Copies of this chain bind each other. A is one copy, B any other.
Amino acid sequence: MSRGQGFDVVEWGIGWSAWEEAGQSHRESVLALSNGHLGWRGNLDEGDPCGAAGTYLNGVFEEHPMPYAEDGYGYPDQGQTVINVPDGKIIRLLVDDEPFDIRTGRLRTHEQFLDFRAGVLRRVVEWTSPAGRTVRITSSRLVSLAHRSVAAVDYEVTAIDAPVEVTLLSEIVANEPLPDVHPDPRVMEPLRQPLASVGHFAGGARATLLHRTQRSGISVAVAVDHQISGARDARVDSETSPDLARTTVNTRLGAGGSIRLTKLVGHEWSDSLADAALRDRAEAAVEAAMRLGWDGIAQKQREYLDDFWSRADVRIGGSARLQQSVRFAMFQVLQSAARAEVRSIPGKGLTGAGYEGHTFWDADAFVLPVLIYTAPGAARDALLWRHATIGHARRRAEQLHLAGAAFPWRTIDGRECSGYWPAGTIAFHINADVAAAVVRYVAATGDAEFERDYGTEILVETARLWVALGRWDDRGSFHIDGVTGPDEYSALVDDNVFTNLMAQKNLRAAGAAARRHPEQSRALGVSDEEVAGWETAASALHIPFDAERGVHQQSAGFTEQERWDFDATTTAQYPLHSHFPYFDLYRKQVVKQADLVLALQFVPEAFTSDETARAFAYYEELTVRDSSLSASPQAVVAARVGHLGLAMDYLMEAATIDLDDLHDNVDDGLHIAALAGVWNALVCGFGGMRDGENGLQFAPRLTVPMSRLSFGILVEGRTLRVDVEPDATTYRLSAGAPLDLRHFGVLHTVEAGVPLELPTPALPAPSATPSQPRGRAPRDVAGE
């Protein structure tokens, strides 16, 4: 069901030079702008035609009841759904009183271009109205990475061949409809008109709307001001009503004449500030932006991104498409988090209302590793958000009769919003995923202050959860029973290997952090006995292994379950969960997404290389990739075990999941974690990067069509750039102290300014390439 493959393949952006209404929602997601605080979908300036209007502020949501046919203890009763905040991107245009609508008249040119370096979405339209007047519209739009509450539109209309009267209606529209995110009217009802007007103010070219959500009690202020040039006699006036602010600009253009309108929009929200203070903040943000003007803001945007790309750019030789895809991926990952500032990174970022705007484990497990090495400040903020929600997590653990903290499976503000506990509440690995991100962040940045003030508490409370959740058997093994791992086609299993290995690391890291920060530990009530208990449990954790088949079991007994009948399953029956009942998926060997294979990626030290190769082959035959989170770990592990062609196939799949809409759901927003997976596949897969107790390790290898790979990572403030060519890899350190790293297992030291070139050893002959379930092999990139 892929579509929208018509994007122009260019190195530093996504271009589209056409128009058709089909695919509009998909393009709105792909062309979305965001800074992690504010998100604007790639809706057309004039508002219509529209796939799904989208203007989001990270953390602004409405509550709704959670319905259950049969209720149960501990089921969350209030859900949270991201809502549309007042939409300031709209500029409607009238040409001689005829509304500009690309579905009427004659569209001569329609080009859109998302520029990764400029951080700007540009558009050029040439249109002849039904009455025969031709205009050119050029617009540029940005969501500022430098000024988190500011977005801007630079909009110019030129009369091509005859004088025209031009009217611009620059609007802020509140309560734009949200897509039907849930079939239950009890859920949807509070989401229809979630914002109640608190005030609206207009004057000259300025306007402000103030609203409050009806149930969650969140206030939102959106303010606007305008700069006009090119038409000195333009008449300007603003008016507001509760759900609309409209600045009207009217002028007459001579043939060849043009008018340029710069719209500067400020966005603030709060669940505690007074309305007047909130209004002040939004308007002050606009004031500051007005002083900079479009050019000033655009320049700071460029500077922000130049800084990012200079350290983080991933360069690919041999495939322009892959080059574009990875930059798109990194641009969108950055956008999802750059200025979130103690807010979460939702599964869809701020590009759509999919998953109700919720944040899941993949933010910690897939997205943070990328940010930790490329934008560590954003990673720190995301972890600070987790820390800020630890009160909710403690209460949830208490409700479940556990100890410590139980982070939510899906949430906006930190409270559990999962309505299906077998794949929600009991997917406790989320806690180890958060803990692992803390450990990785501290290791990569050396941010001891963060570890002391925030990280230790997260590690301690999650360690407590594992001890409470697990049990000792009478042979001295520690088990974690009745949980769900990453694979959503299994549930309620005992001793999930991924969960247990991640819990093991969590327990040990908690002990180490507690020892490093005795004062914080004491404040948390940690005793030496408790630390010893964590370490004993960690060492005793049971890792189920099928000795007969010589492979690790995804969970206890997994390899003895019946195999799914893949040969009897038709292509139309995927994704399986839409066509088969859960119990049948759960009781059979069929894997939705990397689980044991994710353990191979995240905890490689727990497996010999032989075990890794055999486990990868075994689970390849069972993995159907009905989740967007599967291709990238499969790419990583395939590359590590030497199946480079297969790794490339998975990499290309990860790289095109959103651009080609492989899962047919990009209408609702991008898959940020899958996009992060592109970096993971390249850096951890082809680059062979590992971190952890043994420091940084690399084992870079290339395969067709990728003739070159270059990536940069930040390590304790120094940029390490790794340039991989087929026969050798060059490591370059920007500055600072020398850095130890391992290249194919051998320890080397890189000094700042001294390139270190090391040869690529010959690839040991890998075993036969594993096969996938019938019809579920990735597209063969190299073979095409």
Contact = CB atoms under 8 A, between A and B. Distances in A.
A74 interface: yes
A197 B453 CA distance: 69
Interface of A: 65-76, 79, 183-186, 400-401, 418-422, 424-426, 471, 473, 481-483, 491-492, 494, 557, 560-562, 577-584, 586-588
Contacts of A426: 583
A66 to B, nearest CB: 5
A72 B578 CA distance: 7
A400 B581 contact: yes
A399 to B, nearest CB: 8
Given A185-B186, A481-B562, 12 more contacts: A67-B68, A68-B68, A69-B76, A69-B79, A72-B420, A184-B186, A400-B581, A400-B584, A401-B580, A401-B581, A482-B583, A482-B588
13 contacts: A68-B419, A69-B419, A70-B419, A70-B420, A72-B577, A73-B579, A73-B581, A184-B186, A185-B186, A400-B584, A481-B587, A492-B492, A492-B587
B72 A587 contact: no
A151 to B, nearest CB: 33
A89 to B, nearest CB: 32
A425 B66 CA distance: 22
A491 B422 CA distance: 11
Nearest to A491: B492
Nearest to A484: B583
Contact of A421 (B418, B578, B583): B583
A50 B17 CA distance: 73
Contacts of A588: 482
Contacts of A74: 580-581
Most chain B CB atoms below 10 A, which of A185, A492, A578, A586: A492
Given A73-B578, A582-B72, A583-B492, A67 B481 contact: no
Given A67-B186, A420-B72, A494 B577 contact: no
Assembly of this chain: how many copies? 2
Give 8 nearest A-B pairs by CB, closest first: A69-B419, A482-B587, A67-B67, A70-B420, A74-B581, A70-B419, A471-B562, A481-B587
Contact of A586 (B492, B560, B578): B492
Most chain B CB atoms below 10 A, which of A401, A471, A491: A401
Nearest to A578: B73
B69 A494 contact: no
Contacts of A420: 69-70, 72
A586 B482 contact: yes
B73 A425 contact: no
Contact of A183 (B71, B582, B584, B586): B71
A583 B72 CA distance: 11
A458 to B, nearest CB: 23
A583 B400 CA distance: 10
B582 A73 contact: yes
A197 B578 CA distance: 41
A542 B376 CA distance: 55
Most chain B CB atoms below 10 A, which of A69, A74, A562: A69
A561 B70 contact: no
A67 B586 contact: no
A401 B584 contact: yes
A351 to B, nearest CB: 22
A494 B587 contact: yes
Nearest to A182: B69
B67 A581 contact: no
A333 to B, nearest CB: 27
A524 to B, nearest CB: 24
A583 B399 CA distance: 13
Most chain B CB atoms below 10 A, which of A67, A494, A586: A67
Contacts of A577: 72-73
A398 to B, nearest CB: 12
Contacts of A418: 70
Contacts of A422: 422, 583
Contacts of A494: 587
A580 B69 contact: no
B581 A425 contact: yes
Contact of A584 (B65, B419, B482): B482
Contacts of A557: 557
Contacts of A471: 562
A491 B421 CA distance: 13
Most chain B CB atoms below 10 A, which of A72, A473, A583, A584: A583
A495 to B, nearest CB: 11
A557 B74 CA distance: 26
A65 B69 CA distance: 9
A65 B419 CA distance: 17
Nearest to A184: B67
A71 B581 CA distance: 11
Nearest to A419: B69
Most chain B CB atoms below 10 A, which of A72, A79, A420, A577: A72
A107 B481 CA distance: 61
Nearest to A69: B419
A60 B386 CA distance: 52
A186 B183 contact: no
B72 A581 contact: yes
Contacts of A73: 577-582
A75 B581 CA distance: 8
B72 A421 contact: no
A418 to B, nearest CB: 8
A403 to B, nearest CB: 13
A112 to B, nearest CB: 35
Contacts of A586: 482, 492
A583 B67 contact: no
Given A586-B492, A587-B481, A69 B72 contact: no
Contacts of A482: 583-584, 586-588
A411 to B, nearest CB: 14
A426 B420 CA distance: 16
A108 B183 CA distance: 57
A69 B426 CA distance: 16
A719 to B, nearest CB: 43
A71 B577 CA distance: 11
A74 B75 CA distance: 21
Contacts of A424: 70
A473 B561 CA distance: 9
A370 to B, nearest CB: 28
Most chain B CB atoms below 10 A, which of A73, A186, A483: A73
A483 to B, nearest CB: 8
A482 to B, nearest CB: 3
A389 B580 CA distance: 23
A581 B421 contact: yes
A69 B356 CA distance: 12
Contacts of A71: 183
B66 A69 contact: yes
